[in-house]
């Protein structure tokens, strides 16, 4: 009965939100729909070409596809757990409606059930969007039976629930067992431990010892054989194995894996609700009873010490930057994502020599360097959307304080932009330097990469900051919710689109050179300069115009 009330609540919220959407510009809605469809179509095409290519490789094609599936679902499973853990913290502990709900005669388990569905959906929708074209392209490239798609759909739901239950359960246990002050350190240590376990489970083989051809060796290295991903105790294994069986029309086995997923999802959900019944309300109460004076002090030492570094921005902008840094530091659930994603890249780049990538022939070395560049840029693109875009929105109902201050909104916008740019440029450029050094690339390619990183930082940070100012959501306090709106989706699509263009334009002259279409180094230099010119032109445009648009919108804002 009470769950029915929550279902009706959702339906009303969704219906009203759609009604509000109808009041907005149709052009805006069609544009975002078109962009989203285009994005999915491109993803489908890339995956389809990749699956068809791999399937066509004699002898090892099916092994590579199989390994890719296990690896993909394993990575997806971990990301879903992580995403659920973070979003659950916001939805079950921080969200203001929990206080309202707990003031009513609702049991801890009832409130949790409702909040779990909410956080599970919030955490999973973006992954679902990525998953659908990937799975459909796999089916089509393998000329699979239609039943495969039914199985894929059946696997989706329990898979998402299991990951959600683990993520939410972990968050709840951590919140219960640890005081908030220690939460940051523990989350960091757990993430580090998971990263180390994965890293340790990667089988490292040197090219000279492998006895393989360079192509097979490279494919093996690009799709590392992570043993954990083949563990039959993992839901990601059941998902991958089930899909592979269904693609081979072994439906009995495929159904067995579905039952495994379903029963585990039911078991996990039941266990989680029982756990919530016992500890959710208590942990919620404890979290809201933390020693306030101690939480208030978090980060004071470190950030105050680096205050003089921001002197160049002027006293007023420095105040704003220091405030933002303190707020960011005091939200461990936010910055751990930052540390983990860039941390994984850092660990990988530092260990490039263990994989013997530096011993590769120039063609493969270039491929590897471009893949590393793409990885840095895609991480930067998603993190700038996740962290930079919501910055103006997160000022929330306090926005009038800076809005009415002599600082002026223009300075606020550009102050935030400069601070974000400085930090992200320093991190990404350092990562790139490590990758270049480990791979042993230098000269023209290195110079191009350094330039591309600079331009991409300007473009991606400017785009996120500008569109974040143009499409603010001052009502939501959850960054994940802010990003999932129109502006956030547009930023993510534009960022990924530009990253693909920038990498393609950068790689083009070097590929022509390696294939002999450009014969001299001087011609390559000229072609590379033209490429850099194109990337710079688009990048600077993507930085300036959204910032100007955001500035204009902020100036016209009433608050």
- Per CB under 8 A, residues contacting other proteins are 1-2, 4-5, 8-9, 12-13, 16-17, 20, 96-97, 99-100, 102-107, 281-282, 285-286, 288-294, 475
- Nearer to other proteins (CB atom), residue 285 or residue 442: 285
Nearer to other proteins, 35 or 287 (CB): 287
- Minimum distance of other proteins from residue 89's CB (angstroms): 18
Nearer to other proteins, 13 or 450 (CB): 13
Q: Identify any residues that bridge with 226 across adjacent strands, giving them in sequence order.
A: 202
Closest CB to other proteins among residues 112, 342: 112
Q: How far apart are CA 37 and CA 43, in angstroms?
A: 10
Query: In this structure, how many other beta carbons lie within 10 angstroms of the beta carbon of residue 514?
Result: 16
The DSSP 8-state label assigned to residue 289 in this structure reads: T
Q: Which is nearer to other proteins, 83 or 478 (CB)?
A: 478
Distance, first Cα to last Cα, the chain: 41
CA-closest candidate to residue 370, choices 451, 438, 436, 302 = 436
Show the CA angle centred on residue 546, arms to residues 544 and 552, nearest 5°.
100
The least CB distance from residue 5 to other proteins, in Å, is 3
Given the complex with other proteins, which of 94 and 196 has the nearer CB atom?
Answer: 94
Q: How far is the CB of 109 from other proteins (least distance, A)?
A: 10
Cβ proximity to other proteins, 102 vs 188, nearer residue: 102
CB of 2 to other proteins, least distance (A): 6
Q: Is 288 or 307 the residue whose CB approaches other proteins more closely?
A: 288
Contacts of 82 (CB under 8 A, 6+ apart): 167, 191, 337, 340
Residue 316 has phi, psi (to 5 degrees) of -65, -45
Q: Shortest distance, CB of residue 291 to other proteins, whole angstroms?
A: 2
Burial class (CB in 10 A: 0-12, 13-18, 19+), 543: buried
The CB-of-111 to other proteins minimum distance in angstroms stands at 11
Tell me the C-alpha distance between 324 and 239, whole Å: 42
Cβ(346)–Cβ(379) below 8 Å: no
Class of residue 310 by CB neighbours under 10 A (exposed 0-12, middle 13-18, buried 19+): buried
CB atoms within 10 A of CB 319: 17
**Residue (14 or 450) nearer to other proteins, CB:** 14
- The candidate with the shortest Cα–Cα distance to 458, out of 420, 407, 406, 430, is 420
Choose between 4 and 520: whose C-beta lies nearer to other proteins.
4
CB of 105 to other proteins, least distance (A): 4
CA–CA distance, 202 with 364 (Å, rounded to integer) = 21
CB of 136 to other proteins, least distance (A): 33
Q: Which is nearer to other proteins, 25 or 289 (CB)?
A: 289
Q: How far is the CB of 285 from other proteins (least distance, A)?
A: 4
**Closer by beta carbon to other proteins, 500 or else 557:** 557
Beta bridge pairs of residue 202? 226
Nearest distance in Å: CB 266, other proteins:
25
Q: For other proteins, give the closer residue by CB, 299 or 497.
A: 299
Q: HSE on the CB side for 315, CA within 13 Å?
A: 1
**Alpha carbons 241 and 247: distance in angstroms, whole number:** 10
Least Å from the CB of residue 558 to other proteins: 15
- Beta carbons of 313 and 415 less than 8 angstroms apart: yes
Contacts of 159 (CB under 8 A, 6+ apart): 77, 235, 236, 239, 261, 265
Please count the other Cβ atoms lying within 10 Å of the Cβ belonging to residue 435. 26
CB of 447 vs other proteins, minimal distance in Å: 51
Q: What DSSP designation does 549 have?
A: H
**Smallest distance from other proteins to CB 10, Å:** 10
Cα-atom radius of gyration of the chain, to the nearest Å?
25
For residue 537, what are the contacts with CB-CB under 8 A and spacing of at least 6?
none
Distance CA 237, CA 226 (A): 12
274: buried, middle or exposed (CB in 10 Å: 19+, 13-18, 0-12)?
exposed
The minimum distance between CB 16 and other proteins, in angstroms, equals 5
Three-state secondary-structure class, residue 527: helix
CB-nearer residue toward other proteins: 105 or 301: 105
Question: Which residue, among 343, 344, 374, 357, has the nearest Cα to 220 in the 3D structure?
Answer: 357
CA distances from 399 to 219, 379, 395, 402, 511 (A): 51, 29, 5, 6, 49
């Amino acid at each position: 009965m009470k769950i029915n009330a929550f279902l009706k609540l959702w339906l009303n919220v969704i219906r009203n939100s759609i009604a509000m959407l109808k009041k907005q510009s149709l052009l805006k809605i069609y544009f975002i729909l078109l962009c989203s469809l285009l994005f999915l179509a491109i993803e489908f095409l890339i995956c389809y070409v990749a699956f068809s290519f791999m399937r066509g490789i004699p002898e090892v094609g099916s092994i590579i596809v199989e390994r890719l599936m296990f690896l993909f679902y394993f990575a997806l499973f971990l990301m879903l757990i992580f995403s659920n853990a973070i979003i659950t913290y916001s939805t079950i502990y921080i969200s203001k409606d929990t206080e309202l709900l707990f003031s009513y005669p609702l049991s801890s388990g009832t409130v949790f059930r409702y909040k779990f569905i909410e956080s599970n959906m919030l955490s999973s929708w973006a992954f679902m969007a990525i998953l659908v074209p990937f799975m459909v392209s796999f089916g089509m490239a393998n000329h699979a039976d239609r039943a495969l798609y039914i199985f894929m759909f059946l696997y989706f739901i329990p898979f998402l629930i299991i990951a959600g239950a683990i993520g939410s359960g972990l968050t709840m246990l951590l919140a219960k067992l640890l005081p908030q002050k220690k939460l940051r350190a523990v989350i960091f240590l757990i993430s580090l431990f998971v990263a180390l376990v994965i890293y340790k489970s990667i089988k490292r083989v040197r090219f000279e010892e492998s006895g393989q051809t360079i192509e097979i060796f490279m494919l093996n290295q690009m799709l590392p054989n992570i043993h954990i991903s083949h563990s039959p105790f993992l839901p990601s294994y059941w998902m991958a194995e089930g899909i592979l069986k269904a693609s081979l029309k072994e439906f009995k086995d495929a159904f067995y894996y579905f039952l495994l997923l379903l029963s585990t999802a039911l078991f996990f959900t039941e266990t989680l609700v029982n756990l919530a019944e016992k500890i959710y309300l208590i942990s919620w109460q404890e979290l809201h009873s933390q020693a306030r004076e101690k939480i208030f002090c978090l980060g004071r030492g470190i950030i105050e010490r680096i205050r003089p570094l921001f002197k160049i921005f002027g006293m007023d902008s420095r105040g704003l930057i220091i405030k933002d840094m303190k707020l960011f530091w005091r939200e461990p659930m936010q910055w751990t994502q930052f540390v983990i994603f860039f941390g994984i890249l850092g660990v990988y780049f530092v260990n490039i020599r263990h994989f013997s990538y530096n011993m590769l022939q120039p063609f493969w070395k270039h491929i590897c360097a471009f893949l590393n560049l793409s990885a840095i840029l895609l991480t930067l693109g998603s993190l700038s959307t996740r962290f930079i875009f919501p910055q103006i929105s997160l000022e929330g109902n306090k926005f009038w304080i800076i809005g009415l201050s002599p600082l002026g909104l223009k300075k606020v916008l550009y102050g935030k932009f400069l601070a974000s740019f400085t930090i992200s440029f320093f991190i990404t450029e350092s990562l790139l330097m490590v990758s270049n050094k480990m791979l042993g690339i230098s000269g023209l390619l290195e110079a191009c990469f350094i330039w591309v990183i600079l331009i991409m930082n300007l473009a991606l940070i400017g785009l996120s900051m500008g569109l974040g100012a143009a499409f603010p959501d001052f009502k939501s306090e959850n960054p994940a919710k802010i990003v999932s709106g129109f502006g956030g989706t547009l930023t993510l699509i534009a960022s990924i689109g530009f990253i693909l263009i920038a990498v393609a334009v950068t790689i083009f002259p070097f590929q022509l050179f390696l294939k002999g279409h450009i014969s001299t180094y001087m011609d390559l230099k000229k072609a590379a300069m033209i490429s850099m010119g194109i990337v710079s032109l688009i990048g600077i445009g993507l930085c300036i115009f959204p910032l100007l648009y955001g500035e204009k919108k902020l100036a016209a804002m009433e608050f």
